[in-house]
Amino acid sequence: MTCNLLTRPLAAFALAMFLCMATFAGAAADGTSSKPAAYPPNWWVGMRDARLQLMVQGPGIGASEPTLDDTPRAKIVGVARGDSPNYLFIDLRIAADATPGDLTFRFARREGLVTLRYPLLPRAPGSAQRRGFDNRDVILNLMPDRFANGDPGNDRVAGYADAADRDNPGGRHGGDLRGMRDRLDHIAGMGYTMIWPTPLIENAQSAYSYHGYAATDLYRIDPRYGSNVQYRDFVAEARTRGIGVIQDVVPNHIGDGHVWMKDPPTADWLTYAGRYDPTRHGRTALADPYAAQSDRDDFTQGWFAPTMPDLNQKQPLLATYLIQNAIWWIEYADLSGLRVDTYGYSDGAFLAEWTQRIRAEYPHFSMVGEEWSDNPSVVARWQNGWVDGKPGMPNMMDFPLSEAVRIALNEPANEYAGGLRRLYEAMVDDRLYSAPTALVAFEGNHDMPRIYSVLGENDDSFRIALVHLATIPRIPQIYYGTEVLMTSPTVRDDAATRRDFPGGWAGDRVNAFTGAGLSPRQAEAQRWLRTLLNWRKTATAVHRGRFLHYLPRDGVYVYFRDDDRQRLMVVLGRNDKAVELRLDRFAEGLKDANAARDALTGTAAPLGSSLTVPAHAALILELCTPSKPC
């Protein structure tokens, strides 16, 4: 890494200055500029775990003997060297009563003495007790490159080959942190309380870098999005609006533009010794009691693509590096959660340690793993724990339920199978999970065909899907553009699924932020979803209430949510005409309710011996009782 501030874009200047001061202090005795860099670039006093391992990187640094100037703050307890001469690993123990300040390291080499000043910073008050996301929240998944371009000046950055080109469906389009920050009022107004952007860290790849899943520097925000400082400011601005930020992390693989491809710290840093060998995606193998070990190894060690080298988390130095990297971002940026990409592809023992170390530092923090399987036993395995009592991932993406919704609202149904009956039966799988309400349910994401298209652009099915998502015992997540009925092919087509959000670029004919140019259907869908999500913010029965559901009959699925403050009756129907629903069957859910009102419109819904259910219904009824009248 070189430290040329003059050639850096202004957006990255603050970060570059910080890194240069933190890692390149001092000069070699022989007058050369070969100075080491340390990762993580800083740490904090007052962390629960007193251990810290620094990866020090620099030409020939591995041959040096490190010492730490006399200080009560920390002491060196171990030194390790890899196979490359350009890395040195220093194990530190930070004193429990350490005060903020710099540590000064000296590296003795034949060429002379090199020094490195390393900052220990104060922690923010309450950092360890930060709240993650839970059933009170609604998560917005967006792709920063495709959401809003707030700073056209960073569309092209010197040294980065993949410049913005909106005419290229698979290229960068210029969305950035400034664009996201400028739209925070819109996001909050829609009712979202959490934002999950796809990865923002550096992807200095020659092409197809916009998605962010091929990292080339795990400690740096890609300058085409902005800087580390801008990211931290974005998170802080979001928090002032009641919105937390979830960072997308990828412990499984990197991009082939990473320096580790040319100079890995150890010979076993990458799987298959750095040679491309593709995974066959046998995700069931790890949960399969009969699977061959070779199939399990193929799943966790195989590469995603030639441009995405697979990391070997069995390597203990790398495992520590990845764990500390996640903790660094949580503390540095004040995050509310992590979304863990390709979760199950990493080594299982590493994942258990990764989870345990993070939760020990932040007991109330949230992390959600991606295991793209429609088999609930596969997803449940990860939440319920690995083996030998190791902790599981507290939250998992509910791919089985997502798949069930997409099938259920498309297929014909009879009284015994298919359609809404499929949604009912999907909930039976909750018995497999240690914490089913901690699962993140979703209508779509950046890898899936858009739900509006999958549902045949049927507005009624669309509303049923979203009401179901908002009221079941899950944490809901919605993909950007869903609210304005963005479409795609019904088979996977990344470019089409990841189109630019209308209005995020100067000169866009349609602007979903202001409503200009939206069709009447789009404008109504956006208004309706805004109403639904803002209502949900105060719906305590949805946040924590009991779930009771009834077997669908006559094309109608009914379930109840209730707590000590609120009682809800949700009615989903797929009939082409109105039907009368006899209410005596629902006595257990209705209890003493004598009236109801539509939660989204406030319209009264009389409760007699029956309830008129309109065609293609998606009703949320707030129940009223003699003690809690409407």
The residues annotated with a catalytic role in the active site are 341, 370
**Do residues 559 and 547 lie in contact, with contact meaning Cβ atoms separated by under 8 Å?**
yes
3-state SS, residue 139: strand
Backbone angles phi, psi at 390, to 5 degrees: -70, 150
β partners of residue 34 = none
Give the three-class secondary structure for 549: strand
Instruction: Report residue 584 as tokens.
Output: 């005596």
The phi, psi pair for 26, rounded to 5°, reads 85, 170
The DSSP code for 12 is G
Q: Are 427 and 471 in contact (CB under 8 A)?
A: no
Query: What span, in angstroms and rounded, lies between the C-alpha atoms of 380 and 443?
Result: 20
Q: Are 87 and 59 in contact (CB under 8 A)?
A: no
DSSP code for 310: B
Q: To the nearest 5 percent, what fractions of the chain are helix, strand and coil?
A: 30, 25, 45
Report how far Cα 176 is from the mean position of its chain's Cα atoms.
17
Contact of 115 with 106, CB cutoff 8 Å: yes
Q: The tokens of 521 are what?
A: 């259907």
The DSSP-derived string for 557-616 is EEEEEE-SS-EEEEEEE--SS-EEEESGGGHHHHTT--EEEETTT--B---SSEEEE-TT
Task: Note the residue count of the chain.
Answer: 630
Which parts of 427-509 fold into alpha helices (H)?
A: 451-454, 459-471, 494-497
d(CA 482, CA 417): 29
Residue 274: partners with Cβ closer than 8 Å, 6 or more residues away: 261, 264, 309
Residues in Cβ contact with 175 at an 8 Å cutoff, skipping those fewer than 6 apart? 143, 144, 145, 146, 147, 148, 149, 225, 500, 504
CA distances from 26 to 67, 86, 109 (A): 15, 18, 15
319 SS3 class? helix
First-to-last CA distance in the chain? 66
DSSP letter, residue 122 = P
* CA–CA distances in Å: residue 567 to residues 17, 138, 531, 571, 601: 55, 20, 19, 13, 17
Picking from 198, 337, 242, the residue whose alpha carbon sits closest to that of residue 534 is 242
Residues 221, 225, 229, 230, CA torsion sign: negative
C-alpha–C-alpha distance, residues 215 and 619, integer Å: 44
> H or E segment at 118?
strand 112-121
Tokens describing residue 312? 């070997």
Q: What is the dihedral of CA 404, 406, 410, 416, to 10 degrees?
A: 10
Where is 203: in which H helix or E strand?
none
Alpha-carbon distance of 75 to 41, in angstroms, equals 18
